[in-house]
Amino acid sequence: MADNRNPASDDQNSRSITHSDGNDQWVIINPTSGTADHVDDVRQFANERNYTIQETTHEEHAVQLAQDAVANDVERLAVAGGDGTLHEVVRGLVEASALGKVTLGVIPTGTENIFATNIGVASIEEGFDLLDHGERRRIDVGFAGEEPFVVSCIAGLPAEVSVAASSDLKERFGSLAFVVASLQELTEFEKLQIEVTAISNGEETTWSGEALCVLVGNVLRFNNRGGQADVEDGLFDVVLIEQMPASDILAEATAQRVFGRDTEHVLHGQASQLEIRGLASDPITFSLDGEVNTHDELVLYTDPQSLTVCVGSMYEDTPSE
């Protein structure tokens, strides 16, 4: 879920444009992200580097602040928060038709920091240093309908499970870690009745039936041994996990992780576009970077190399398997 949880104190003010003193570098701080003890450190680094500081005060405030940054001709925009805050900022840039007009820097202060980890940013200080003199890369942005996402889109898992799979579970069970986590959380897992159409290299493939979930990674790779996806290739990494008995989930997860082989109910692939359509009366729950909504059907596509971000030394432009 988004990590902005403070109530709005003045809704009218939240819609107003913030005008700066002409500074072309801003930092948007979510003071409630993660353990909420990072604000003083972020402010210190920002002041030392002459950043204009903007703090969020309520959910979706970062969307407006990103639009304000565009209106003030900001060229370097730091985001101090977690994946939910980053998601809102990217939304704001998209809604301002300015996705390619700023250089984005991530200051990891959230709980999971999945995006920051995958682009090699490990600390607050490193995030600011990279904005000063780090490598810039142009990365893909995913879209689910009209809403952007940078990390992943997950169909069929509750929001808390989409981020609750621990590093230990991911190491042990790979792409099925998310299902293993859900089985630990839920007494009954609701299967999806869906049709999935994928387009890759101009070829269309359709699958229909009962599934546990569909995992679509942009910067996050769900298949094979996990890790960073190639976020500059214009393709999603896709894992479709078919409906199977609960007793088979751990066996297939172990086979994939330990023996490194594909299994009967787990389908891996890549696609530049996906259409996921529900075949039952209930809508499908989608989690976009941890933000949850429901749709009867949804088209996912990539906007290749449309966002400039500062990356760390551990970032791989062509990740190995």
pLDDT tens, 234-271?
999 998 888 877 666 665 655 555 444 567 788 889 99
Is 80 exceeded by the pLDDT of residue 60? yes
Q: How confident is the model at residue 213 (pLDDT cuts 50, 70, 90)?
A: confident
Position 259 scores a pLDDT of: 40
Residue 22, CA distances (Å) to 17, 157, 226 in order: 14, 44, 43
Q: Is the pLDDT of residue 16 over 60?
A: no
Q: pTM here? A: 0.84
Tell me how crowded residue 192 is: count the other CB atoms within 10 A of its CB. 26
Of 75, 108, 133, which residue is a domain's last?
Answer: 133
Backbone angles phi, psi at 307, to 5 degrees: -125, 130
CATH number at residue 72: 3.40.50.10330
3-class secondary structure, 114 = helix
The stretch 56-82 carries a mean pLDDT of: 97
Tokens (6 digits) for 37: 């003890």
Q: What is the pLDDT of residue 115?
A: 94
- Is 278 a residue whose pLDDT tops 60? yes
Residue 309 included in any domain: no
Structural domain ending residue among the three candidates 86, 106, 133: 133
Q: Do 72 and 189 fall within a single domain? A: no
Domain region containing 84: 11-133
- CA–CA gap between residue 107 and residue 34 (Å, rounded): 12
What would the mean pLDDT of 217-240 be, rounded to a whole number? 85
Domain membership of residue 166 (yes or no) is yes
* 106 located within any domain: yes
Which of 133, 160, 189 terminates a domain? The answer is 133
Based on the domain organization, do 214 and 283 belong to the same domain? yes
Q: Do 128 and 157 belong together in one domain? A: no
Q: Are residues 174 and 33 in the same domain?
A: no
pLDDT tens-digit readout, 126-138: 999 999 999 999 9
CATH of the domain at 176: 2.60.200.40
- At 98-142, the pLDDT tens digits run 999 999 999 999 888 989 999 999 999 999 999 999 999 999 999
Strand 52-55 and strand 147-149: the pairing is: unpaired
The structural domain count of the chain equals 2
Average pLDDT score, the chain = 84
**Whether residue 171 sits in one domain with residue 129:** no
How high is the pLDDT of residue 268? 85
Residue 314 counted as domain residue: no
Do 285 and 224 lie in one domain? The reply is yes
Residues 165 and 196 in one domain: yes
